[in-house]
Structure 1
Amino acid sequence: MPDLLPLLGDEPSERSDAARNRAALLAAGRDLVAHCGTEAVTMEAVAERAGVGKGTVFRRFGTREGLMAAVLDADEREWQAAVISGPPPLGPGAEPWERLVAFGRSRLVTTLTHADLIRAAGGFGSRSQPAHAFTVLHLRHLLRELGVTGDLPMLATALLAPLEVPLLDAAVRAEDYPVERVLASWLDLARRITAG
């Protein structure tokens, strides 16, 4: 049977050794971020921890920002999986308002947890465009389920904005707002939008 053309969005196939190296490099990067912080993540440190040559890291990710973006993407995929098929209320099975509240809380915590990593991947647009598109699409879905009418893409974007690094930096770092205040403010915004 002839080889089929890949479908749009399919990951390109890779040799088994390349797949092992990629997995080892991502695990090493995630481990360094978790235990030492983003400042400790260098191409050399990741290569050493993964047991590969430094050239392998550069060939795979190009730059330190590329490496950070890949580590962030791996964490983002796990978060998305929890939204799509994890337990309620973040995952399916809860009422739409409960899911929206869980989404806001989870996204806030995730963004604060990964803020340094998001900044380190900055040249790649912080979170990737597909990751951003996923969150907006999910919020649109929840808003639709809550009976919200109007420009759902813009309303979803308005709800997402306070949960992104630049606005959280302004609130939590610059203004020294407690995280609970930020979440309460986000919930107030969500109530106003859903009350219509």
Structure 2
Amino acid sequence: MNKRTAPFRTISPKTNSNISDCQSESGIARRGRPSVAPTRVLDAADALFASATSPSEVTMDAIAAAAGVGKGTLFRAFGSRDNLLNALWTAKLAALHTATEKGKSPLGPDAPSRDRAVAFLDALLTFKLKNRHLIRAREIAPGLLQSEHYKWMHGLLSGLIEDVSPDAVTDDAKYAAHVLLAGLHIDLIDELLDAGFSVQSIRHAQAEHARLVIDKLRSD
């Protein structure tokens, strides 16, 4: 009779434990290399995305080589490339989470909701521009709208829109949030840049569009 193995669990970038070829999270001893901190792997992946010309260049082999570990370490720590990239996405978004929860105006909780919504969309746009290859790798993957990151973005934005337009139908606010986030999809951003739009003109246009959408709901 075959023994059942313990289920694999992925780790978050805040986890303090080290996962190696020698020992898995389940505690089963393995032969292999010394342990490696998850942040070391994520830093290596981040550097590769920053210098890559395409997200497809950032393979598990490339990340393992850059981090100086065996590829088996990556799979035991994260389970898959998608899980590793999700962990990196989480780590990179941490600053934006903090800014929306504890930051200053116009993004922080003390600012008017309309200003916060516009500032949040601008911060997301800026974040995507700074992490284009990582974002492309995540946004072309299946299940984007079901991801925890997208749910957080949509939940925050739709809540701010509802605050501005308390008399609007809740579904209208949720739909408006989806529409505004769709305008920040990396495919559209890259297309605009390739067409000659400047970063500043894209930021200005999306901010004006956000104000129009929010104000239309408030006036209806």
When the two structures are superposed, what TM-score results if normalisation uses the length of structure 2? Answer: 0.69
What secondary structure sits across from 2:87 in the alignment? helix
Residue number among 141, 144, 147 corresponding to 1:129 in the alignment: 147
**Bigger CA radius of gyration:** 2
Do residues 191 (structure 1) and 211 (structure 2) align?
Answer: yes
Q: Is the 8 A contact 1:73 1:127 kept in 2?
A: no
The alpha carbon displacement at 1:74 in A equals: 1.8
Deviation of the 1:69 alpha carbon: 3.1
Aligned counterpart in structure 2 of residue 115 of structure 1, from 132, 145, 153: 132
Q: Give the C-alpha shift of residue 186 in structure 1.
A: 1.7
Identity, % of aligned positions = 31
Could you report, residue by residue, the CA deviation over 1:105-132 in whole angstroms, capped at 9, with x for unpaired residues? 1111111222211222333545871111
- Partner residue in 1 for 2:39: 23
Distance 1:155 1:71 in 2: 28
Which structure has the highest helix share of the two? Answer: 1
CA deviations 1:37-96 (Å, max 9, x no partner) are 356533234334434322101223344444333322321233222222223222222222
Superposition map of 1:9-48 within 5 A: 16-18=17-19, 21-34=37-50, 36-37=51-52, 38=55, 41-48=58-65
**Aligned-CA RMSD value:** 2.9
Q: Any conservation in 1 of the 2:144–2:150 contact (CA below 8 Å)?
A: no
Structure 2, gaps ≥5 residues long: 1-11, 20-24, 26-35
Instruction: Give the secondary-structure state (helix, strand or coil) at the position aligned to 1:16.
Output: coil
Q: Distance in 1 between matches of 2:96 and 2:142?
A: 19
**Alignment length, in residue pairs?**
183
Residues 1:114 and 1:127: Cα distance change in structure 2 (over 3 Å): farther
Report what 1:172 is aligned to: 193
Structure 1 residue 146 corresponds to structure 2 residue 167: no
